[in-house]
Structure 1
Amino acid sequence: MEKELEQFLGDCRRQQFSAKEMHTICQPLIWQIRRAKAQRWLLLLLPMLLVYLLWMYCDAFAWWLSAFGRLLLVQLLPYWDWTPHYQGKCLIPRGEQRVAEQGPALGRHETLWENCVLCESLEGIATTSNVSYSMLESKFLERGLPVIVTDVDLETDLDSLLWLINESAPELISSEPCDVSSNLLLRKLFSVDAALQKIRSLQAQPSTRWHLQLRNCQRRAVKASRLYFKRPYFYPLHLEPYYSSWLLISHQQQRPQAEIDVRGLIFVQQLSGHFELELRPKNPCNDGLCPSLRMRLNAGEALVFSTDLWLLSYGLQKPNPKQSSIASIFEVDWQL
């Protein structure tokens, strides 16, 4: 094709065509060449765009792509040791830098004393609605401030929740939960399946008081919980999926305030009824510097906060006689 084109241009030059005539003669050919280039770029970019869209909007595809990438990295280990870069923040060395001395690791009830200035003038907990995650992050989370989102509207009742678990989450039913608290069964007899069967049997006795608290800590149970615990509308695609989930249910039973061990970025969603929540500042901010925050979380609302500064407890003083109090909690490994 190139030889024929060069021969054609040579013939035109010998016949002394003007530049305007050459442009008129070659215009269809130029258009075809540009069209062929555009098609090549389109064929190259379309698959990349398709992979990107699937990765952004399809959790299953993103998981498989991530798994394939890890397998590929393992195969590359004999040829390139990438492990020193795994936890690194920068792939390109920037020369010698002074490294600040790190103090001892903080305990679960401790925070840096510099964080106390973030909450020392706090008078209450803010509420918001129709909000984006970027706004939550910049206005509240980066400053260590908790916030209640009032228009989450992820409500359900006990019957619907039990049906969803039974139909869509067999891995959860067969899993071994942790942080269990319940008056349904002796701890040595407790299993998720046995607890759910006990709850179904008690539905014929609506006046019977009971409660259930469990945390899904096994990977397969956490993945299964994503099938019946919907994310709030402001949960962004770029944020990691939650690594642990909690289910809190109290039926006609008062519950004293009890602290639960949650870590990271926390989403507490009230699905039915209400719970009374309390956020207490960590040491040393709890020594008269920052206030404890008490709130009532109603159905359709969500509390979002970071455990860098706060400890969480929940309870129930006045149960609703017409409905169970149900809440879910997501723990997310939050890295800015």
Structure 2
Amino acid sequence: MNHKKTRCRFEDFNRDFNDLYASLKKENYSDGEIRRVFHPLVATTRKSRRLYLLLVVIFLAVAFYSLTFWEAFTWHLSAVFRIALIKLLPYFDWRYLKNERCLVPKFAASHDPSDVTFNCYVCENIKRVDAYDSIDEDVLSQRYLDLDVPIILTKGIEHWIRNPDFLFAKLAAEVDFALSYPCNVATNVCARNVDVATLLKMTESFDSFFVHFRNCEGDAVRTFRKYSYRPDVFPDIYSPTTYNWMLWSKDYNATAFKKIELAEKVALLGQMHGKTRVKLSPRNNCEFACPVLDFVLNVGEYVIFTALWDLHYRPFETGYNVAALMETRS
């Protein structure tokens, strides 16, 4: 006997269910009892719907992944994301995230530099900062850096560019540096966050100005290293430059010293052009035990100091003055 399969239309199926529901109500079934009767069917329907949604998601994911191998698609997708990120800037400044190793914040207790305790005996009797033409690397480590005693050297950065016009022309041609957004910016020429090229361009409208900033983008740090090499005397136990800064002024006559917020254990401040007035202030528990050290850094000289000291500087009041600051850790 042949059995023909008949296709049930939704209208017929829906009518039968409505008739069954009406029949159950006539038999005085409660709504709860009716739900229990239809529960196996409802559960099956939900599972089918979830399976369908899962298959749709998998299909879309595979299709998107396949499209990423198409160069035109990835180029347009990248452009759309870049535009979206730029539009997001007024509401959330995400640029600092580019250099983060992990986007998930650590929940461990953060280290507060103000909690560090120093041995004040190493600095309480310092009368001035020692200055040498050159020094042996071991002596530099054992006599000065290991004891948190600052030192000035007059030879070792002769290869740094001395001409400010030539220096800034070279830096402006370095795209990774010029288009980077610096951190810890302090200046009298701009009150908003701009890239380095825009910041340097703004100085052209001022007869008197000062600018200092920290390069916080990795490519900008690496680019600026080419113009502020580490001196050969610097011990190898210290890592490559972690952060570097630029200090620049022109005919800026101010009485107040400006503080540089350093993050690493050892810092080197080198004078590329002109002069800089420097003040090293003892930190934390040594603030009142050790003297403040004042001196002028002349062109070609550099001072090396450790985290025991806070750095303050005052731009020299005449002419162009350019200095480079590098931070490193052991």
TM-score, length-scaled by structure 1: 0.61
Aligned mates of 1:141, 1:151 — CA distance in 2: 18
Given the superposition, is the C-alpha separation of residues 110 and 149 from structure 1 closer, same or farther in structure 2, using an over 3 Å criterion?
A: farther
2:131 aligned partner: 127
Q: In the alignment, does 2:321 pair up with 1:314?
A: no
Contact 1:172 1:192 in 2 (8 A): yes
The structural deviation recorded for 1:105 is 7.8
Aligned mates of 2:141, 2:133 — CA distance in 1: 14
Given the superposition, is the C-alpha separation of residues 213 and 274 from structure 1 closer, same or farther in structure 2, using an over 3 Å criterion?
A: same
1:65 aligned partner: none
1:187 partner SS: coil
Contact 1:150 1:301 in 2 (8 A): yes
Aligned mates of 2:301, 2:291 — CA distance in 1: 22
Contact 1:178 1:215 in 2 (8 A): yes
Correspondences of 1:6-155 after superposition (within 5 Å): 107-113=112-118, 115-152=119-156, 153=158, 154=160
Post-superposition Cα deviations, 1:186-215, rounded to whole Å, max 9, x if no partner, equal 314x2211112233x44xx7xx00111110
1:325 partner SS: strand
Contact 2:161 2:227 in 1 (8 A): no
Q: In the alignment, does 2:330 pair up with 1:325?
A: no
Aligned mates of 1:162, 1:233 — CA distance in 2: 25
Aligned mates of 2:303, 2:195 — CA distance in 1: 29
Q: In the alignment, does 2:167 pair up with 1:161?
A: yes
Letter in 2 for 1:133: E
Given the superposition, is the C-alpha separation of residues 238 and 111 from structure 1 closer, same or farther in structure 2, using an over 3 Å criterion?
A: closer
Letter in 2 for 1:180: V
The structural deviation recorded for 1:238 is 5.2
Greater mean alpha carbon deviation, residues 147-156 or residues 158-167 = 147-156
Q: Which runs of 5+ in 1 are unaligned?
A: 1-103
2:285 aligned partner: 284
1:148 partner SS: strand
Contact 1:164 1:228 in 2 (8 A): no
Aligned mates of 1:286, 1:221 — CA distance in 2: 34
Contact 1:109 1:311 in 2 (8 A): no
Aligned mates of 1:138, 1:295 — CA distance in 2: 23
Greater mean alpha carbon deviation, residues 229-238 or residues 170-179 = 229-238
Aligned mates of 1:226, 1:291 — CA distance in 2: 33
Q: Give the total of aligned pairs.
A: 218
Letter in 2 for 1:267: L
Letter in 2 for 1:319: E
TM-score, length-scaled by structure 2: 0.62
Aligned mates of 1:238, 1:142 — CA distance in 2: 12
Correspondences of 1:124-273 after superposition (within 5 Å): 124-152=128-156, 153=158, 154=160, 156-167=162-173, 169-188=174-193, 190-199=194-203, 201-202=204-205, 208-237=207-236, 239-255=238-254, 256-262=256-262, 263-273=264-274
2:49 aligned partner: none
Aligned mates of 2:273, 2:142 — CA distance in 1: 29
Given the superposition, is the C-alpha separation of residues 135 and 151 from structure 1 closer, same or farther in structure 2, using an over 3 Å criterion?
A: same
Aligned mates of 1:125, 1:261 — CA distance in 2: 21
2:278 partner SS: strand
Letter in 1 for 2:182: P
The structural deviation recorded for 1:249 is 0.3
Letter in 1 for 2:253: Q
Given the superposition, is the C-alpha separation of residues 187 and 265 from structure 1 closer, same or farther in structure 2, using an over 3 Å criterion?
A: same
Contact 1:155 1:270 in 2 (8 A): no
